[in-house]
Amino acid sequence: MALALALGAVGGGCSSSPAPATPTPPRSSATPSESGTGFTGIVRGAEDSVGALSGSAGALYQFRFRQIEPGSDRFTFQDRELSFFFKPTPDALYFQIENRQNRLVWIEWERSTFYDPVGNTDKVAHGSTTWSDRFKTQAATQIAGLQRYGDFVLPISYLLDPTGGVQSHRPLIREDSTSPQYTDRVFGVDLAMTVEDRPRVYNFRFKIASVIPR
């Protein structure tokens, strides 16, 4: 199902309002572990379920997430310039950003940082980052005034050598017998932005609130 996003303000008792669906990135598919990788699955693209419980259909467990920084029960944040919506999944962290002003905004991937659920920090990969980009400088992404941009992010070291020309990567959270070990773990991203030549960093953290057997 396509990801339907609802943008809203948080903090200070602000209200929220629905937003049009974001463009859908490539849907995920998981394959059995390949010899020598040590991974339980390989993801192509990223999962885009809209269900309350995220996870692959054949997984042993499903996950519930909470946004803890900044705190929000709707996975949202908003300030004068930008509005954010997030969708955590086991495959990757989806997001949509709305540029609320008629001015240029840039996502500075090179200055952004991902914090994975096992305590590591890394550079950020997003939907168009390839295996060959791991040691290159990633170009910034522009969000025009009053426009929206949707994508997903994950640690750049999770990228795998692609097959069939499609981005392949390790899942952000393993969906196997080790899944319960992720309960209460925290992950997130520091998104570096430039708003009219003014640098800003937005910090977002998410907790794996529960791991539920199917």
Contact 169, 29 (CB under 8 A): no
Q: pLDDT at position 92, please?
A: 97
Separation between Cα atoms, residue 31 and residue 107, nearest integer Å: 31
Q: Please name the residues in contact with 135: beta carbons below 8 A apart, sequence gap of 6 or more.
A: none
Q: Please name the residues in contact with 195: beta carbons below 8 A apart, sequence gap of 6 or more.
A: 81, 82, 101, 103, 105
What's the pTM value of the predicted model, to 2 decimals?
Answer: 0.79
Q: Please name the residues in contact with 124: beta carbons below 8 A apart, sequence gap of 6 or more.
A: 109, 112, 113, 114, 153, 154, 155, 156, 189, 191
Indicate the SS3 state at residue 40: coil
In DSSP terms, which residues pair with 203 in a beta bridge? 190
Comparison of pLDDT for 57 and 110, the residue scoring more:
110
- Provide φ and ψ at 162, rounded to 5°: -70, 155
Separation between Cα atoms, residue 59 and residue 130, nearest integer Å: 26
Confidence band of 214 (pLDDT split at 50, 70, 90): confident
Q: pLDDT tens across 122-155, in order?
A: 999 999 999 999 999 999 999 999 999 999 999 9
Q: pLDDT at position 18, please?
A: 37
CB atoms within 10 A of CB 30: 20
Q: Is the pLDDT of residue 24 over 50?
A: no
Instruction: Give per-residue burial for 133-170: e unless 16+ CB within 10 Å, then b.
Output: beeeebebbebeeeebbbbbbbbbebbbeeeeeebbbb
Calculate mean pLDDT across residues 67-85. 97
Write the single-letter amino acid at 174: R
From edge to edge, which strands make up the β-sheet containing 93-99?
Answer: 76-78, 82-88, 93-99, 148-155, 124-126
Separation between Cα atoms, residue 148 and residue 36, nearest integer Å: 40
Confidence band of 44 (pLDDT split at 50, 70, 90): low
* % pLDDT > 70, the chain: 75
Q: How far is CA 54 from CA 63, 70, 214, in A?
A: 6, 21, 12
Q: pLDDT tens across 82-125, in order?
A: 999 999 999 999 999 999 999 999 999 999 999 999 999 999 99
